[in-house]
Amino acid sequence: MPYSKIIGTGSYLPERVVTNQELQARIETSDDWIVSRTGIEARHVAAETEMTSDLAFQAAQRAMQAANVSADDIDLIIVATTTPDMIFPSTACLLQARLGVKRGAAFDVQAVCTGFIYALATADKFIASGAHKCALVVGAEVFSRLLDWTDRRTCVLFGDGAGAVIVKASEAPGIYSSHLHADGSLSHILRVSGNVHRGQVRGSPFVEMDGPAVFKLAVRVLDECSREALEHNGFTGKDLDWFVPHQANLRIINATADKMGVPRERVVTTVARHGNTSAASVPLALDKAVRDARIQPGHLVLLEGVGGGMTWGSILLRW
């Protein structure tokens, strides 16, 4: 079978919600500034004991239930995360054990906020090649652990969460195409430079970002890669039923949708309630629009991401 198709979605958000009001009581910021510059009103933050694999496990179980598949059916697990439970083994291997999956491959993908797009593109190629039959693809993050909660330029932007999809081989699309990009020469504009070195963290353990530089790049590359995806498949923005972009900033999302000619009511946005959940943002938004029945069989859907690396990419699919 030449194509792969998403047959179920799931997501999970930690219980604790941190509002802008709570942040403005703690640091020098305001609800007004955060909402007007980003569209973010609140974000979820994992409990101290919750790890990325815990969030991934919940989202994965919900996706498996929606797709009506069991652990025995899955032969590929890819987890996109910037916040793995440990340096190794991979979060995908920890998740595999927790789910009771006994065969196939399990590995993590690191493309920061584009991670889910990279992971889904990888699963698509593995399945379309015939090498694997049923993939679990997860984007999961406890990004709050990488934040300096006294740095107002970054700590108001991010949140924790997980989203998952089950992907199977299909005679009909399914995923039409994926387009992935990277420019490592821009690694300095968004990074966590720290590493573990002989028992010490060397470099910074916190997110450092040149916000305006990332903003400008995001608006440019998201426009380029949406055009690339649509033109490659002979579509225009008007053909899209749903645009599901990375949820970093409402101004970036709206600028991209406007350039594509996609009306705002066709754009799935969760950034107001989730903030930027990095690799989890696209599958979280996708699951929301599937569960509230906005996305229907036959709909044309464009997924898009941009993040540290810098990396960016798109996936165009028929639901």
Helix (H) / strand (E) element for 164: namely strand 160-170
Nearest-approach distance from CB 220 to ligand UT7, in angstroms? 12
Cβ proximity of 211 and 218 under 8 Å: no
Q: Is 113 a catalytic residue?
A: yes
The contacts of residue 186 (CB under 8 Å, 6+ apart) are 213, 217, 309, 310
CA distances 3 to 72, 168, 174, 241, Å, are 22, 8, 6, 20
Q: Is 188 a catalytic residue?
A: no
CA distances 195 to 201, 204, 265, 309, Å, are 5, 8, 43, 16
**What tokens does 53 get?**
């694999």
- 85: DSSP letter: S
Name which of 76, 57, 80 is nearest 141 in CA terms: 80
The residues in 210-239 that bind ligand UT7, with binding defined as CB under 6 A, are: 211-212, 214-215, 218
Which range in 30-38, 122-130, 192-200, 287-295 contacts ligand UT7 by CB under 6 A? 30-38
Q: Which is nearer to ligand UT7, 167 or 253 (CB)?
A: 253
The residues in 43-102 that bind ligand UT7, with binding defined as CB under 6 A, are: none
Q: Which is nearer to ligand UT7, 21 or 70 (CB)?
A: 21
Nearest-approach distance from CB 23 to ligand UT7, in angstroms? 8
The residues in 106-125 that bind ligand UT7, with binding defined as CB under 6 A, are: 113
Q: Which is nearer to ligand UT7, 80 or 94 (CB)?
A: 80
The residues in 162-221 that bind ligand UT7, with binding defined as CB under 6 A, are: 211-212, 214-215, 218
Q: Is 246 a catalytic residue?
A: yes
DSSP characters over 202-214? ES-SS-EE-HHHH
Q: Which residues are catalytic?
A: 113, 246, 276
Residues interacting with ligand UT7, by CB under 6 A?
29, 33-34, 37-38, 113, 152-153, 156, 211-212, 214-215, 218, 248-249, 252, 276, 306-307
